[in-house]
Amino acid sequence: MSAHKESAALMSAMLRITHPELYFMAREAMSSLQTLQNVQDVVMLWHSVFNGCQVISNRETPIHRDNNSHVKWYDLLCSVGPYTGADLEMPGAGLRFEYNTGTAVFLCGRLLRHGVSKADGDRVCIAYYMRENVQQRMGSKFAGWSHQRTYKYILP
């Protein structure tokens, strides 16, 4: 987990920019987790505000929804490796993207059905997410939808 420190910090920073309210909710929950003695040692090694991470290697991901998150929260998908030909599809939204190595995508995985086609080569997807039950247990005030007004000082 220590080798993952810089990547985890980068992914957390991306969330801070994309959905500040969700970032601060997650950061507060991770701070609360550090006070629990039965998980304290592990949490001290975890450098991400996301409380869940799944690694998917060399496989097609059928169209699905992510059921352990909250409908208004973003999951982050990062794809890496020497591969070609993968597409990320969100059929309910009518979207299909090239899913090249180095791509990072935020999506409401519980709301939007999504999947990834088979790739030629070696592809690894790292999916970061927050489990709703962890946030509840930590007493989090749930973040709502991300809003454009959050960026009123950045956007014209």
Number of structural domains (the chain) is: 1
Residue 17, in any domain of the structure: yes
CA distance 147 to 144: 9
Tokens found for residue 98: 């090239």
Work out the average pLDDT over 133-146.
88
Residue 112, in any domain of the structure: yes
Residue 148, in any domain of the structure: no
* pTM for the structure as a whole: 0.86
**Residue count (the chain):** 156
CA distance 10 to 31: 18
Q: What pLDDT is recorded for position 85?
A: 93
Q: Which residues contact 58 (CB under 8 A, 6 or more apart)?
A: 119, 122, 123, 124
pLDDT at position 149 over 90 = no
What's the CATH code of the domain at 38?
Answer: 3.60.130.30
Task: Give 21's pLDDT tier (boundaries 50, 70, 90).
Answer: very high
Mean pLDDT lowest for which of 33-42, 53-62, 73-82, 121-130?
33-42
Between strands 75-80 and 103-107, the pairing is antiparallel
Q: What pLDDT is recorded for position 151?
A: 62
CA distance 9 to 5: 6
Residue 146, in any domain of the structure: no
Among candidates 77, 56, 88, 60, which has minimal Cα distance to 129? 77
Residue 87, in any domain of the structure: yes
Among candidates 32, 36, 30, 34, which has minimal Cα distance to 48? 30
Residue 45, in any domain of the structure: yes
Q: What pLDDT is recorded for position 154?
A: 54
Question: Tens of pLDDT along 87-125?
Answer: 999 999 999 999 999 999 999 999 999 999 999 999 999
